[in-house]
Each structure stands twice: as structure tokens, then as C-alpha cells.
Chains A and B, each alone.
Chain A
Amino acid sequence: NAGVTQTPKFRVLKTGQSMTLLCAQDMNHEYMYWYRQDPGMGLRLIHYSVGEGTTAKGEVPDGYNVSRLKKQNFLLGLESAAPSQTSVYFCASRSLADTQYFGPGTRLTVL
């Protein structure tokens, strides 16, 4: 039981490049979330999903897109990366009656 995993762990992009961050959970959780954490800031919600095939915007959705084609996976896409998207990205999942379980994070640097 791996819990919540994130791929990749680290990535360096150039401005304008695109990439996809993958979050996978093996706990059969309905809800999945993408957060970003910046120095001195708390966790800010980017997008979330309440079930397979559904997504919704969070607090800071601009510049990101998401997809939840399979229940166990939640993908976060950056179509044209900007230096302001340099951050640590955390994925989380939860079942209806439980708290959130977080992945280990992806450290992204945009030059």
C-alpha cells in the first residue's frame, strides 16, 4: 500500500515549456487535491476533484489544468510554465469520512 505518490520528485523547466505532474493513490479515495506551497505561505489549493471525471477550481487555478480520467490518478498540467510557478506541489487524497493524505511533493523550478 503505497498511499499517495507523486511523479516526478524534482523538475527544472524553462519559461514557456509544458509539463504534467502525476498523482496516484491506491486507497480508492474519491477526493483528490492539488496544492502549491511557497516559502512563508501555507498550502494553497489549485484544483480539486470529488470523483472520477470531475474537477473544480481552487484558490489559485490560473495557469494550471487538471484531469481525473481514472479514479486513482489526478494530473496537474502546466501548459506554458512561468517563473511564478516555481513552487513545491503537493497532491492529497481522502475518502468521505477521513482526513487528507498527502504525497511527498514535487519541487518545480521554472527558469
Chain B
Amino acid sequence: DQQVKQNSPSLSVQEGRISILNCDYTNSMFDYFLWYKKYPAEGPTFLISISSIKDKNEDGRFTVFLNKSAKHLSLHIVPSQPGDSAVYFCAALASGGSYIPTFGRGTSLIVHP
């Protein structure tokens, strides 16, 4: 049973437009959420995170929104660039225990020039 779900395996967006990647979770103990970006033949790299005490966190072109009541978070990339083409993983963890993130299956983003 997936505790972290990324229901869109892929997303295609035009350069300059907004990319919205979605993530849902089922475990109410999760209170810290992360997004990782992964290029082919490389390891994932940390992109942005958000704690459950916030509903928004912004870092440059990347913003993560958290809706705790819906157990839903989303990553917005504005404007999208071809270099953003990668697989994006959502991860969640309960901060009070061991640092063991649970990862979603990833969404492959393709940004067309």
C-alpha cells in the first residue's frame, strides 16, 4: 500500500509555462515533505522541502504548497525551462522518528523548447 502517491507518471509542458507536479499521502504522521529531482544516470538531488507548520515554501522558481487537510502537496515550477526535464520524486517522513523518508514513484517532467 503506497503511503506516498504520485499519480501522474509523466507531464509535458511548454517552456515558459507553469509545471505543477502533484503528490498525495495517506499517513497522518507525516509532517515533513521533500521534493527530489533526478536526471538520467545520476542520483536524486534535493530540491525543496516543507514542514507541516507551513502551507507554502518558495525557492526561486520552485514553490511547494501543502494542504494538510487534503493530505496533498504540489510542486510548482515557474517558468519551466528545458533543463527542468527530469524525474521528480515526492518524499514524506515523520520527523519525530528515524529519518526514513517514504518516496513516491516519481513523475517524469518534459519541458519542450
Contact = CB atoms under 8 A, between A and B. Distances in A.
Contacts, number: 44
Given A99-B34, A99-B49, A43 B44 contact: yes
Interface residues of A, number: 22
B100 A40 contact: no
Interface in B81-113: 89, 98-101, 103-106
Interface residues of B, number: 21
B44 A90 contact: yes
Interface string B9-47: 100000000000000000000000010100001111110
Given A103-B43, A104-B41, 4 more contacts: A42-B4, A42-B106, A48-B98, A100-B46
Interface of B: 4, 6, 9, 34, 36, 41-46, 49, 89, 98-101, 103-106
